[in-house]
Amino acid sequence: MPEDTGKQRLFFALWPPPGLQRALAERAREALDGRRARRVPAENLHVTLAFLGEVDARTRECAEEAAGSLELPSFTLAIDRLGLWARRGLLWAGPSRAPEALPALAAELGRSLEPCGLERDRRPFRAHLTLARKAAGQPPRQAMDPLEWRVDRFVLVASQLGPGGSAYTLLREWPLHG
């Protein structure tokens, strides 16, 4: 338990405003069209930028300083496609074309966390919001009417794993500029 070890399971993410989260959850419901799946609750929908794992307080402090040292631009995303990663039945939404500022943000964060002893994810960054897991059946239609998202901050989130899914707590946020 985190209480026992003093460790927290942390990740950096983009967090959509509640209205956009609700719109995305609605798109997921439509795409699944009654098929079985473990849908992510609207208020949990996010884009993971960097996953830290279970870290101690000192590492968290280092990560927060690293995040605070970044000076990166804000940008706009058009969430305009759905996909299904069949192996895990993972239904996702994402931008078909993301501005360079998005992968740059993920890469810069990853780089800045290395001196904290955190390893960078070697897999290429694929911007997506997980809408549902364990989705059965056919992949959905790929295109969707774009949902526009002005991204002007990123957040540090604590995740507590539980039997009914993860519970997230937004700990802190940093602005993206301009």
- In the complex, which residues of this chain contact ligand ATP (CB under 6 A)? 9, 11, 48, 51, 121, 159, 161, 165-166
The active-site residue, picked from 27, 39, 81, 128, is: 128
**Closest to ligand ATP by CB, 11 or 74:** 11
Tokens read off for 121: 């994810």
**Closest to ligand ATP by CB, 38 or 150:** 38
Contact status, residue 169 vs residue 161, Cβ threshold 8 Å: no
**Closest to ligand ATP by CB, 112 or 159:** 159
Least separation in angstroms between CB 178 and ligand ATP? 27
The active-site residue, picked from 46, 79, 98, 125, is: 46
Torsion angle, CA of 15/101/172/8, rounded to 10 degrees? 80
Least separation in angstroms between CB 90 and ligand ATP? 9
**Closest to ligand ATP by CB, 14 or 66:** 14
Is 177 an active-site residue? no
Q: What is the DSSP string of 79-140?
A: EEEEEEEGGGTEEEEE-SS--THHHHHHHHHHHHHGGGTPPPP-SPP---EEEEES--SSPP
Q: Identify the H or E element spanning 46.
A: none
Least separation in angstroms between CB 11 and ligand ATP? 4
The strand pairing partners of 151, in sequence order, are 75
Active site members: 46, 128
